[in-house]
């Protein structure tokens, strides 16, 4: 296990291999490293704007070419061939970055995606005498199974690579207790659980900012004068296949059909961008909803915390491919004191969401209708009680836990100036 020597400004390479601006956990790692005196190279796709706090000299973004916007083959074979070709190109580009400049003290890698990231990062770390630390958000194998089917040969190959890399890493972080138990039992991996925590920017906005953001989000939903006649739900999404948008569309139709005089309207605004957004917008346009409005909104990184904090409730449609990860954006809601309506995909979710305390859960369309009906019809006292539970769940912040739970596993920190 490499044990780098402490120096004035240790270097870390943080590898995302995704859109950096939409990878909040890895961006948080990078910002925390900088705050503790490290120089950080953040490797990934620069497809979206970074928050202002990330634009500092000690944090350098190493942007890889992103061809994710290229047309995707419809067939599984075409998808696999395209992925293989991309993997070859990414391997070369990633190696060049990892082998350039001063040898890093640590290479911190997100998984998934683990191919080619994990073997390339392991090779570079060993060649340069660096520590390799893997941050497990989910599993590459389970994400691939969503696209290729569970019996595809690439699924077993991906799991083999993940197990191999995890055993050779100097440390592994897991996002949930359930994940840590699973890989310990199935793959004999060791490591520690590091839960997502909200950053300081996620808090209840001041009344003026809240009113401005609510008006903006209601306008996106086509509601001119909301007053107290509408409730607002914000759904932070990545627009990927592990989020069940079809369930929301069906629930919205049911709620719209039951509307009568005296019942509030309900606006659900999904934020973010991703491959499934256009299809969702087309389906919404075809529904002709009246008193339930579904809309999308792209927010700059610096506006996102205020949008989250301005909602009456949040909505998580995350359906874990492994049933072992947790929806990261729920902690953003909790940090702002906003309760969540979350898809209950398994026992793991109980580590985060407590029904009736900090939110509500659902498993199918009828239970989603029931949960959204509570948000729409409940008095403010009920929502405030759920909000208090959310605020308590988000009270412990990222900057409070990271120095004790993560930093010691990354190697010696900066030396004090002489």
**For residue 136, what is the domain's CATH number?**
3.40.50.2000
Q: Is the dihedral of CA 294, 215, 219, 304 positive or negative?
A: negative
Which pLDDT value is given to residue 274? 84
**Residue 8 pLDDT > 90, yes or no?**
no
- pLDDT band at residue 79 using 50, 70 and 90 as cut-offs: very low
Cβ atoms 312, 139 nearer than 8 A = no
Residue 116 lies in a domain: yes
Query: Where in the sequence is the domain holding 304, given as residue range(s)?
Result: 207-393
- pLDDT band at residue 123 using 50, 70 and 90 as cut-offs: very high
Asked if 346 and 403 sit in the same domain, the reply is no
Residue 292 lies in a domain: yes
Asked if 346 and 327 sit in the same domain, the reply is yes
**How much is the average pLDDT of 59-73?**
69
**Residue 132 pLDDT > 90, yes or no?**
yes
- The continuous run of DSSP H or E covering 293 comes out as strand 292-297
3-state secondary structure of 174: strand
Asked if 192 and 213 sit in the same domain, the reply is no
Report pLDDT digits (tens) over 28-45. 999 999 999 999 999 999
Asked if 248 and 365 sit in the same domain, the reply is yes
- Which position has the higher pLDDT, 74 or 106? 106
Report pLDDT digits (tens) over 267-287. 999 998 888 999 999 999 999
Which pLDDT value is given to residue 418? 35
Residue 418 lies in a domain: no
Residue 259 lies in a domain: yes
Average pLDDT, the chain: 91
Asked if 143 and 80 sit in the same domain, the reply is yes
Residue 220 lies in a domain: yes
- Which position has the higher pLDDT, 227 or 300? 300
Residue 135 makes CB contacts below 8 A (sequence gap 6+) with: 25, 26, 29, 108, 109, 110, 111, 173, 194
**Residue 203 pLDDT > 90, yes or no?**
yes
**Residue 187 pLDDT > 90, yes or no?**
yes
**Residue 18 pLDDT > 50, yes or no?**
yes
Which pLDDT value is given to residue 94? 92
Which pLDDT value is given to residue 417? 42
Which pLDDT value is given to residue 204? 94
- The continuous run of DSSP H or E covering 377 comes out as helix 365-377
Which pLDDT value is given to residue 80? 53
Asked if 151 and 220 sit in the same domain, the reply is no
Report pLDDT digits (tens) over 212-225. 999 999 999 999 87
Residue 213 lies in a domain: yes
φ, ψ of residue 297 to 5 degrees: the values are -150, 130
Asked if 362 and 223 sit in the same domain, the reply is yes
Asked if 239 and 260 sit in the same domain, the reply is yes
Rounded Cα gap, residues 163 and 167, in angstroms: 6
Asked if 271 and 171 sit in the same domain, the reply is no
Which pLDDT value is given to residue 22? 86
Asked if 138 and 228 sit in the same domain, the reply is no
Which pLDDT value is given to residue 74? 53
Report pLDDT digits (tens) over 224-268. 877 788 999 999 998 988 899 999 999 999 999 998 878 999 999
- pLDDT band at residue 81 using 50, 70 and 90 as cut-offs: low
- Which residues lie across from 44 on neighbouring strands? 63
Residue 3 lies in a domain: no
Rounded Cα gap, residues 113 and 144, in angstroms: 9
Asked if 90 and 230 sit in the same domain, the reply is no
Asked if 141 and 248 sit in the same domain, the reply is no
Residue 129 lies in a domain: yes
Instruction: Count up the domains in the chain and report the number.
Output: 2
Closest CA to 44 of 17, 12, 14: 17
């Amino acid at each position: 296990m490499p044990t780098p020597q402490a120096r004035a400004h240790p270097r870390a390479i943080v590898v995302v291999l995704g859109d950096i601006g939409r990878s909040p956990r890895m961006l948080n790692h990078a910002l925390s490293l900088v705050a503790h005196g490290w120089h950080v190279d953040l490797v990934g796709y620069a497809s979206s704007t970074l928050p202002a706090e990330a634009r500092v000299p000690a944090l350098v973004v190493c942007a890889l070419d992103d061809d994710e916007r290229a047309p995707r083959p419809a067939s599984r074979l075409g998808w696999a061939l395209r992925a293989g070709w991309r993997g070859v190109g990414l391997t070369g580009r990633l190696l060049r970055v990892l082998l350039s400049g001063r040898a890093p003290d640590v290479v911190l890698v997100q998984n998934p995606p683990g191919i080619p990231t994990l073997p390339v990062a392991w090779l570079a770390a060993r060649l340069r005498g660096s520590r390799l630390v893997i941050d497990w958000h989910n599993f590459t194998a389970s994400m691939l199974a969503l696209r290729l089917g569970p019996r595809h040969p690439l699924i077993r190959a991906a799991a083999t690579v993940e197990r191999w890399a995890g055993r050779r890493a100097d440390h592994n972080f897991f996002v949930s207790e359930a994940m840590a138990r699973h890989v310990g039992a199935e793959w004999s991996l060791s490591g520690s659980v590091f839960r997502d925590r909200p950053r300081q920017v996620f808090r209840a906005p001041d009344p003026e900012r809240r009113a401005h953001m609510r008006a903006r989000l209601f306008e996106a939903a086509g509601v001119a004068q909301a007053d107290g006649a509408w409730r607002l739900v914000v759904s932070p999404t990545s627009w990927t296949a592990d989020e069940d948008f079809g369930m929301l569309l069906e629930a919205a139709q049911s709620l719209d059909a039951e509307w009568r005089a005296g019942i509030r309207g309900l606006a659900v605004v999904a934020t973010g961008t991703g491959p499934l957004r256009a299809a969702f917008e087309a389906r919404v346009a075809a529904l002709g909803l009246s008193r339930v409005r579904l809309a999308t909104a792209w927010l700059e990184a610096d506006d996102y915390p205020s949008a989250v904090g301005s909602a009456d409730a949040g909505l998580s449609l995350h359906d874990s491919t492994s049933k072992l990860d947790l929806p990261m954006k729920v902690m953003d809601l909790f940090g702002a004191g906003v309760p969540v309506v979350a898809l209950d995909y398994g026992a793991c979710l109980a580590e985060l969401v407590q029904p009736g305390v900090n939110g509500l859960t659902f498993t199918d369309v009828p239970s989603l209708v029931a949960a959204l009906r509570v948000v729409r019809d409940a008095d403010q006292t009920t929502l405030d009680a759920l909000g208090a539970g959310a605020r308590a769940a988000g009270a412990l912040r990222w900057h409070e836990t990271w120095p004790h739970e993560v930093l010691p596993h990354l190697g010696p920190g900066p030396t004090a100036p002489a």
